[in-house]
Amino acid sequence: MLFFGKNSGRKRTFLRKFIMIAPDQYPMGTPKILLNIDNIAIRSRNRLCFTGTSWQLFDDQQWALIGRTGSGKSILVKAICGKLPVVQGRIVNYFDGTPEGRPYTNCGEIVLVSAETQRDVLQRHALYHQARWQSTEGDDVPTLAEFLDGEQADDRLTYSINPPGWDAAAAAARREQAVDLLGIRHLLERKVTHLSNGEGRKALLARALTQSPKLLVLDDPFSGLDADSRKTLMDSLTAVLESRQQRLILVASREDEIPEGITHVLGIAGHKIAVQGEKSDVLVSDFARKIFKTLPEVEPAKLELSSAGWLEHDTLPPGTPLIEFRNASVSYKGVTVLHDITWTMRQGEHWAIRGPNGAGKSTLLSLILADNPQAYANDVTIFGRPRGTGESIWEIKQQIGWVSPEIHMYYSSQIDCRTVVCSGFHDSMGLYQNVTAEQSQTADRWMRVLGIDNLAEELFHDVSIGEQRLILLARALVKQPRLLILDEPCQGLDSYHRTRIIRVIDALCQQTPVSLLYVTHHRDELPEAITHVLQLEKGRIRVMENNAYRQSAIQ
């Protein structure tokens, strides 16, 4: 059940009824403290962050956290959620109403929804990336309905039969209404590993609402959602905030993703609190302007890119077919996710692939990337060779650079960022072969171009999700691919880094022979170089136009 357009009064009424299932009543009178951060230092791997930081959350406040990519926002919220150690000072909550509070939380009192929690769910059921596309894999993987049931949603141990305060009937009611609120009822029988990135994010949000925690922490919750889903989530968060029964901390990468009901904003810079105060004051400050408005002083001409030596193999003449689909279809256990796709992409063309969550975009890319075995059952030709005529997966991948929202989760926690970039030479999720001096220099050059050379020695999982996106883009570029596939490359990035990435992409398209496939849910993230648009809806092609119709096609 999605809510758009008119009848906003009825929509809000439903949402308020949904929220009113929450067990607590908003305390009356003087605001009471819910969370106290007192002179802390947080350990994140081999470094201390937020040393000497103090901050308080009161029960009449709703907070948003803002800051540049890599500023430390996610580190702070993970410490609040008990997922990173506090080695100095303490974090005390007052959820139980006692004056002394507690330095610990009970299960379900704080719930975090983030890219990392989504990664953890997928890693639990898919040991390698291609497992998502293997119809024979994961017979023990839960369906979305099973993932959302009471015991799974509460993350209880199997022997904890009746935890204190658990109301199974109320949780079941919240679950049903969360499913309708986020429009995912049609996905309930789908395996969680078969959900798209955006559908997976909705599943986590539904589970969080089912739990009705004391404090809900959402780290960039709009990432990966299509426009309608973002509006639905904004409406539901607005109702949560208006009900004044759910306390919320929201990490935002865009100003327009801060709900009206947010009362206060915390600005983070250099792993410290730089500014804090009421939303109306902070969002007009110089700090917020630099986060949301300032653009990089980097023009494509200054990126020092050159087509000389870009490809070791011969450059193809313009118009040569790179990808050809003829009536291609993909199904899983009777559910068809791609229907009769006929489409050709040619050398020199730059395509945007658009469509709502679950439209089939990721499945289409999996056929191109040689990850989906159903390509062999279809008429699919990649770089002039029909699938199934003796070409290896690695021969296909060698000509493709690729970035996706999921790829970062399959890297070891002990691998550094330069190694991740160098792994792009071998299309591996780790580095199992030695790199040459020339390859190492190429990796360093791309890290400088993207402004991340300072991260070379950092562990990949120690840097922010946004910085991981930049590392993976450098990984995709090191082998100078014929085809560059970028699936939500700006996800999790602030405006400065989004603009820089888009300018780099435009420079690549102008100055090299690379052809581009680009997926995004945000119109302002489309590079100017895009020449064609492929619009998918429910697994079917709805729009396929050249740049002359681009503006009407992407609306």
Residue ranges of the alpha helices (H) in 226-313? Answer: 227-243, 279-282, 286-292
Farthest CA pair distance, the chain: 74
Between 211 and 413, residue with greater pLDDT: 211
Q: What is the DSSP letter of 373?
A: G
Half-sphere exposure of residue 369, counting CA atoms within 13 Å on the CB side?
23
Between 264 and 490, residue with greater pLDDT: 264
- Reference 337, options 314, 361, 355, 353; nearest CA is 361
Angstrom CA distances, 215 to 94, 131, 369, stand at 11, 34, 41
Q: Is the pLDDT of residue 548 over 80?
A: no
Residue 317 binned pLDDT confidence (cut-offs 50, 70, 90): confident
Name the packing angle between helices 168-181 and 8-19 (round to 10°).
150
Q: What is the pLDDT of residues 37-93, one digit of tens each?
A: 999 999 987 789 999 999 999 999 999 999 998 899 999 999 999 999 999 999 999
Residue 272 and residue 53 in contact, taking contact as beta carbons nearer than 8 Å: yes
What string of H, E and C letters represents the secondary structure of 268-285? EECCEEEEEEEHHHHCCC
86-93 and 33-44 strand pairing: antiparallel
User: What is the mean predicted confidence (pLDDT) over 539-553?
Assistant: 67
Q: Is the pLDDT of residue 307 over 80?
A: no
- Reference 356, options 486, 232, 204, 513; nearest CA is 232
Residue 235 binned pLDDT confidence (cut-offs 50, 70, 90): confident
Angstrom distance (rounded) from CA 263 to CA 280 = 8
What is the Rg, in whole angstroms, of the alpha carbon atoms belonging to the chain? 24
Between 225 and 135, residue with greater pLDDT: 225
Q: What is the pLDDT of residues 461-477, one digit of tens each?
A: 888 777 888 899 999 99
Regarding pTM above 0.85, the answer is no
Q: What is the pLDDT of residues 414-428, one digit of tens each?
A: 889 999 999 999 888
How much of the chain is in helix, strand and coil states, percent to nearest 5? 35, 25, 40
Q: Is the pLDDT of residue 299 over 60?
A: no
* Least confident window among 27-41, 214-228, 476-490, 513-527: 27-41
Q: For 292-378, where are the E strands, in sequence order?
A: 321-332, 335-346, 350-354
Angstrom distance (rounded) from CA 365 to CA 91 = 44
- Residue ranges and CATH numbers for the domains of the chain are 8-21+32-292 (3.40.50.300)
- Reference 431, options 409, 416, 444, 441; nearest CA is 416
Angstrom distance (rounded) from CA 298 to CA 301 = 8
Cβ neighbour number for residue 488 with a 10 Å cutoff: 23
- Reference 113, options 187, 24, 215, 246; nearest CA is 215
Q: What is the pLDDT of residues 476-522, one digit of tens each?
A: 999 889 999 999 998 888 888 888 889 889 988 988 889 999 999 99
The pair of structure tokens assigned to 417 is 């960022």
Per-chain mean pLDDT for the chain: 82
- Reference 446, options 436, 435, 456; nearest CA is 456
In the chain, the N- to C-terminal Cα span, in Å, equals 23
Angstrom CA distances, 146 to 1, 58, 150, 189, 207, stand at 20, 35, 9, 9, 11
Q: What is the pLDDT of residues 151-173, one digit of tens each?
A: 544 444 333 344 556 677 888 88
Query: What is the predicted pLDDT for the residue at 171?
Result: 81
